[in-house]
Amino acid sequence: MKKIDRRTFNNKIVKGVVAAALMGGMPLACGMGAASKKKKLGYALVGLGSYSEYQLAPSLAEAEHCYLAGIVTGTPEKEKIWMDKYDIPKENVYNYENFDAIAKNSDIDIVYVVLPNSMHAEFCIRAAKAGKHVVCEKPMAINVDECNAIIAACDDAGVKLGMGYRLQSEPYTNELKRFVREKTFGKVRYITAEMGYYSGSNPDQWRLNKALSGGGALGNMGVYAIQAAIYGTGENPISVTAQEYSTRPEYFKDTDETIMAQFEFPSGAVGNIMTSHNISMNRVHASCEKGWYALDPGSNYGPLAGETSKGKIEFPHERQQKLQMDDFVQHIQVGAPNRAPGEMGLRDMMIMEAIYTSIAEGGKKVLMDLAPGFGFEG
Ligand code: NAD
């Protein structure tokens, strides 16, 4: 297994930032002429659960540069329903066992892994070995070693790797990144990001089973809070201090319920994130030298809502997943920036592991050595 060292990590991240800076805050429209001459790329969804059914498949039906070309499912009853609904030919339908035969299928350009988190690494690596570009849902995997293995497999196969970080293609989120880049409100001094939901009363769901999920709220909604703290400041944290709270231990037997974590950033900014499977919350707020900006809601399927010390911000709503999947095709076809590269998923997993380490050590400060200067695509 090839391990990514800090230098490789930094180089890849820096390239992403340079590409993003060249694009400025522009939507990925430049180069559209070239892209429009190319065919739509075919996605295959692996795992036909609720996210695939209610978000990704309808978004692919609306996408400009891609379409739903195939499915991979472990549930035979779903095959005909999906074939009929999305006009998918039988030869583009796979199960978990015969999945590797997808290598010979020229209709499928991109494999999108939408399975429980512990299955991400296996299917991303098998997809890369089949020569397909890969999109991996969040969290990238269940530990840093698996993230490294996914990145190495895609590098070895010469295929592109993107994370399912839909907000990286979302206009309100990109407006926050513009505020950071242009210092519209001066330097950020304090950022808070609170993302969670009440997970109800179904103890049998895979998200509460550590072997399948890798963790609880942190790997689920906590990823959005970590991401928001980073794109809201334009910096990676240099230290993490964290606490865990459990108010329903009889229900959250195997996974974390509520976590708070504090970050220090290289500029001197500080941050606080909160995530939970027991509390519904969904906002990000940055206090800056010359004002503030906030999204509330800041991470749901939209439309998001934004406000600043100078007034409201407003954008028309489009499906975030459509923007995300089209952006990834633009990355493949015309070299547009990869808005959510695998290294970003790896970085977030490193931060999650630091948070768990801090909690295990009684809230001790854990120092982080991530790419300095990593910025606006964060
Ligand atoms: P889900 O429970 O609705 O679907 C899971 C799918 O995996 C089902 O089709 C199920 O049959 C299949 N599966 C295969 N083996 C399984 C097993 N051993 N146990 C349970 N299911 C198994 O989950 P979902 O909400 O669609 O989430 C799938 C992935 O997508 C997760 O990684 C999740 O974090 C991610 N997700 C991302 C977003 C986002 O906004 N980016 C939103 C929802 C989910």
CA of 51 to the centre of ligand 1 (A): 7
Same domain for 209 and 140, yes or no, is: no
138 is catalytic: yes
Same domain for 145 and 177, yes or no, is: no
Where do we find the tokens 């409100």?
185
CA of 139 to the centre of ligand 1 (A): 11
Q: Confidence band (pLDDT; 50, 70, 90) for 71? A: very high
Q: Is residue 7 part of a domain?
A: no
CA of 7 to the centre of ligand 1 (A): 33
At a CB cut-off of 8 Å and minimum separation 6, what does 318 contact? none
Same domain for 158 and 176, yes or no, is: no
User: Which residue of 48, 50, 51, 275 sits with most ligand 1 atoms within 8 Å of its CB, as the best mutation to test the pocket?
Assistant: 51
Closest C-alpha residue for ligand 1 atom 31 = 116
Q: Is residue 6 part of a domain?
A: no
With a cut of 70, say whether residue 17 has pLDDT above it.
Answer: no
CATH classification of the domain holding 155: 3.40.50.720
Q: Is residue 123 part of a domain?
A: yes
Same domain for 109 and 204, yes or no, is: no
Same domain for 221 and 346, yes or no, is: yes
pLDDT of the residue at 354: 98
Question: Do 146 and 121 form a contact (C-beta atoms < 8 A)?
Answer: yes
Catalytic residue among 67, 172, 224, 356: 224
Catalytic residue among 132, 138, 177, 322: 138
Averaged confidence pLDDT in the chain: 90
Point out the ligand 1 atom lying closest to the alpha carbon of residue 51: 26
Where do we find the tokens 């195939």?
70
Averaged pLDDT for residues 303-313 = 98
pLDDT of the residue at 370: 86
Where do we find the tokens 């978990």?
96
pLDDT of the residue at 372: 54
Averaged pLDDT for residues 43-54 = 98
Same domain for 227 and 100, yes or no, is: no
Averaged pLDDT for residues 180-196 = 97
Averaged pLDDT for residues 194-200 = 96
Closest C-alpha residue for ligand 1 atom 10 = 49
Same domain for 125 and 177, yes or no, is: no
Residues with CB under 6 A from ligand 1: 47-52, 74-75, 114-117, 137-138, 164, 166, 206, 212
Closest C-alpha residue for ligand 1 atom 43 = 51
Closest C-alpha residue for ligand 1 atom 13 = 115
Where do we find the tokens 């070299």?
335
Same domain for 221 and 358, yes or no, is: yes
| Last residue of one domain, picked from the residues 136, 166, 196 | 166
CATH classification of the domain holding 252: 3.30.360.10
Whether the model pTM is above 0.75:
yes
Counted domains in the chain:
2
Which amino acid is it at 346?
L
Same domain for 148 and 220, yes or no, is: no
Q: Which of 98, 35, 36, 51 is nearest to 72 (CA)?
A: 98
Q: Is residue 4 part of a domain?
A: no
Same domain for 135 and 224, yes or no, is: no
CA of 350 to the centre of ligand 1 (A): 22
Q: Confidence band (pLDDT; 50, 70, 90) for 346? A: very high
Averaged pLDDT for residues 52-67 = 98
Closest C-alpha residue for ligand 1 atom 8 = 49
Point out the ligand 1 atom lying closest to the alpha carbon of residue 73: 9
CA of 32 to the centre of ligand 1 (A): 33
Q: Is residue 252 part of a domain?
A: yes
- Token pair of 252 as six digits: 């959250």
Domain enclosing residue 143, as ranges: 25-166
pLDDT digits (tens, 9 = 90+) for 243-254: 999 999 999 999
| Last residue of one domain, picked from the residues 166, 201, 217 | 166
Which amino acid is it at 60?
L
Q: Is residue 132 part of a domain?
A: yes
Closest C-alpha residue for ligand 1 atom 19 = 206
| Last residue of one domain, picked from the residues 166, 194, 222 | 166
Q: Is residue 331 part of a domain?
A: no
pLDDT of the residue at 38: 59
With a cut of 50, say whether residue 13 has pLDDT above it.
Answer: no
Same domain for 227 and 197, yes or no, is: yes
CA of 102 to the centre of ligand 1 (A): 21
Q: Is residue 378 part of a domain?
A: no
Same domain for 176 and 279, yes or no, is: yes
What is the C-alpha separation between 173 and 2, in angstroms, rounded?
33
37 is catalytic: no
